Amino acid sequence: MGLFDKWFGGTKNFNRPDVQFGRFNDHYTTKEQTDFWKAAVSHYEKREYMDAFRSFFQSLQANGQNSISFEEKEAQLNFELLQGSKKVHGSADGEKFTAYAKVVKADRLNVGFMRRLLENNHALKYSRMSLDDDNHICIKFDSYVIDASPFKIYAALKELSTTADKQDDLIADEFDMLHPIDSGHIQELPVAEKAMKYSYIKKWTDEVFGRIDELEPNKFKIGVNYLLLNLIYKMDYLITPEGVMMETLEKAHHLFFAPDGKTPQDKSQSVVKLLKEMLERPEADFHKEMYRVPATFSITAPADHSQLVGMIDAETPSMDWYLQNEYFDLAAAIPGFIVGHFLFYFRLPQADREYLHLLFEILESDYFKDLGFEPHYYDKATGAFDKSAIKNEINHIAKANKERFPKLAPNTNELKYNNLPEFARSFLFMVKDLDFTPAKTE
């Protein structure tokens, strides 16, 4: 079952291609996962270590990603997990727990990447970078079982696997003597999809850079930042790149929010320079970073509905001046920023995530149309909304999440269809007012 089979089960008459958006989100934990986790903790406290490891991996398996496998043989548990482009191997017995991943293979040793390994080691808490006898750069973790609680193992495996996944593309791109390895599980995207996505990377960046050149810097310094943040977040969520592009977008995000005392103009100039450097690479380099992979661990921070409410309240008043003065593109960038920021940085409850995705599908309707998605919720050429399809999908999302949040009751009468930014703001207000009181558990 694909992602959109789960999300849009009520729209089976429409074409919903199996396209990945955003990063793996593990906000929702099933009862089965929770029960296995509790069992792992209980076994560990009783020093039943092998039982604890078994329950621990059963808990990870229950995330539904098909990214974990393990087997027990002769008092030893061997496991394998997938995180993005990397494969993590490991074992546990009555004495030690070990895990490792091969990051890249080196044709020859080089001072530059060896220094990089030392720098990475300084930042790691549980694992360490190393070089094996076959010149594979690896990342490893081990612990005596008496210290290997489920909490420690989870944190260590997450650090190890997410670091390996991030570093393989980055250092292989930077050092020509390094090559990816142990990544045969990667699912390549169709060439036509890669080409279409690259065309939108160019289209979106050209539009934003051109618009920035038209605006008076001092008068629109905040508006420029909204344009750039919206651009960064939608490229990450809608394109879902790996490697250098993903790293560049993360750097751009951190540049904006770094407490470094720089002015909004300084930050925007730094981000524009960073993005232009990224775009100087050949199209083929972007294609190499477009692929589909499973994940065991989420790389985003947990958040609840109240945090989304707080950001909607804080940011939407900034739309007023742009709407009154008919800077509709700047006004639309603000809800785009809100949606993108939460999908980029946070793990929200599934219903919130689905509503934000739906708003992105409306705001970026031409992109979804070119991907082959139906229905077409908004026509940018005519400014017309498919009100019926929008309302149906809003209600379908509420119905699909009723079991976990029984009081979800979106008021679609709040929606305003005057123009795209007005609609987006009213949509966020509707989401803000939703009641996310969870279902009572026995």
DSSP 218-287: TTTHHHHHHHHHHHHHHIIIII---HHHHHHHHHHHHHHH--S---HHHHHHHHHHHHHHHHTS-HHHHH
Tell me, what's the pLDDT at 2?
40
Cβ atoms within 10 Å, residue 210: 9
CB 339 within 8 A of CB 355: no
CA 379 from centroid of its chain's CA atoms: 27
Q: Evaluate whether 156 touches 127 at the Cβ level (below 8 Å).
A: yes
d(CA 27, CA 38): 17
Q: Distance (Å, rounded) from C-alpha 91 to C-alpha 77?
A: 5
Residue 78 — φ and ψ, nearest 5°?
Answer: -110, 135
Q: In 46-104, where does DSSP find H-type helix?
A: 49-61
pLDDT one-digit tens code per residue, 410-441: 999 999 999 999 999 999 999 999 999 988 76
What's the one-letter identity of residue 368?
Answer: F
Distances, alpha carbon 319 to alpha carbons 215, 341, 422, in Å: 17, 17, 9
pLDDT tens profile 13-41: 688 888 889 877 665 677 888 899 999 99
**What distance in Å separates the CA atoms of residue 79 and residue 63, rounded to the nearest whole number?**
16
What is the per-residue burial (b if ≥16 Cβ within 10 Å, else e) of 322-343? Answer: bbeeebebbbbbbbbbbbbbbb
d(Cα 138, Cα 145) in Å, to the nearest integer?
22
In tens, the pLDDT along 185-229 reads 778 899 999 999 999 999 999 999 999 999 998 899 999 999 999
pLDDT in tens, 61-117: 887 777 899 999 888 999 999 988 889 999 999 899 999 999 888 887 778 777 877
